[in-house]
């Protein structure tokens, strides 16, 4: 329908309580390799999926977003750059388990996700979602969060501490931190540029999930981490 052969747009009926036809087959059927898969959930215009694909040809990247106009931009850019290691799925993150088999995914990026000010369980980094992701993530998978929302960053960091995840990087101002991976600084999204124009500080968190399930919410989340002023 879009003319983009790197974009998949299943109907809800195809993935609601069903496995997508590429479930467990992304490496062999889409990328034609056995390289690790990295997801960008809520990818927007796909700046990170494309930017990371350029930097890491030894990995495969899949951007996921429900908004068509946004994701079309990412798919088009990837084709223009002739990138073979990046694809996009237009769907709700709620359905992500229908797309990937156990141990099929190695990393997840959240780039400026909706902080879900008053709906903690809807946050992409909540314990509810992290528990779901373990259905398809490898052991000790890497999780990356980049956000302008300080409380959302602090909430996710508290959740990581609560569940004894190994925190590799925790920065509340990435442009004043010389110890971060290059891609955290040099890839900027459309929304990040808007936040920077407002002089918002950008936060970054990277951690490894452990295998101690189920994951729990930080004990103090009921009051401190409801993002009233988001």
Q: Which segments of the chain are extended strands (E)? A: 7-8, 37-41, 60-65, 86-90, 105-111, 137-147, 166-171, 203-208
The mean pLDDT of 73-98, rounded to a whole number, is 97
Q: For 99-114, how does the pLDDT look when each residue is reduced to its tens digit (9 = 90+)? A: 999 999 999 999 999 9
Give 100's contacts (C-beta < 8 A, 6+ positions apart): 23, 24, 26, 37, 135, 136
Averaged confidence pLDDT in the chain? 94
pLDDT bin (cut points 50, 70, 90) of residue 211 is confident
Query: Residue ranges of the domains in the chain?
Result: 7-224
Residue 178's Cα: distance from chain center in Å?
23
Three-state secondary-structure class, residue 119: coil
Whether 229 shows a pLDDT value over 60: the answer reads no
Q: Which segments of 136-201 are extended strands (E)? A: 137-147, 166-171
pTM, two decimal places: 0.94
Right CATH for 7-224 from 3.40.50.2300, 3.40.50.150, 3.40.50.1820, 3.40.50.10140: 3.40.50.150
- Percent of the chain exceeding pLDDT 90 equals 89
Three-state secondary-structure class, residue 129: helix
Closest residue by Cα to residue 46 from 93, 133, 112: 112
Given a contact cutoff of 8 angstroms between Cβ atoms, the answer to whether 130 and 97 are in contact is no
Q: For 21-63, how does the pLDDT look when each residue is reduced to its tens digit (9 = 90+)? A: 999 999 999 999 999 999 999 999 999 999 999 999 999 999 9
Q: For 123-161, how does the pLDDT look when each residue is reduced to its tens digit (9 = 90+)? A: 999 999 999 999 999 999 999 999 999 999 999 999 999
Q: Catalytic residues, which ones?
A: 114
Whether 228 shows a pLDDT value over 80: the answer reads no
Given a contact cutoff of 8 angstroms between Cβ atoms, the answer to whether 86 and 15 are in contact is no
Whether 213 shows a pLDDT value over 80: the answer reads yes
């Amino acid at each position: 329908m879009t003319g983009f052969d790197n974009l998949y747009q299943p109907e809800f009926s195809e993935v609601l309580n069903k496995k997508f036809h590429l479930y467990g087959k992304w490496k062999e059927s889409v990328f034609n390799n056995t390289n690790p898969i990295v997801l960008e959930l809520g990818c927007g215009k796909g700046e990170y999926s494309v930017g990371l694909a350029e930097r890491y040809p030894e990995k495969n990247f899949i951007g996921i977003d429900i908004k068509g106009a946004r994701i079309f931009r990412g798919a088009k850019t990837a084709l223009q750059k002739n990138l073979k290691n990046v694809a996009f799925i237009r769907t709700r993150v709620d359905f992500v388990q229908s797309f990937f088999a156990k141990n099929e995914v190695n990393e997840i990026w959240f780039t400026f996700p909706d902080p879900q000010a008053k709906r903690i369980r809807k946050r992409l980094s909540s314990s509810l979602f992290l528990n779901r992701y373990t259905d398809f993530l490898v052991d000790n998978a890497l999780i990356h969060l980049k956000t302008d929302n300080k409380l959302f960053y602090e909430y996710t960091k508290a959740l990581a501490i609560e569940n004894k995840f190994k925190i590799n990087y925790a920065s509340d101002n990435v442009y004043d931190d010389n110890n971060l991976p290059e891609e955290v600084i040099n890839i900027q999204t459309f929304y990040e540029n808007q936040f920077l124009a407002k002089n918002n500080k950008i936060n970054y968190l990277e951690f490894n999930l452990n295998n101690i399930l189920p994951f729990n919410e930080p004990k103090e989340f009921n009051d401190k981490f409801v993002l009233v002023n988001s």
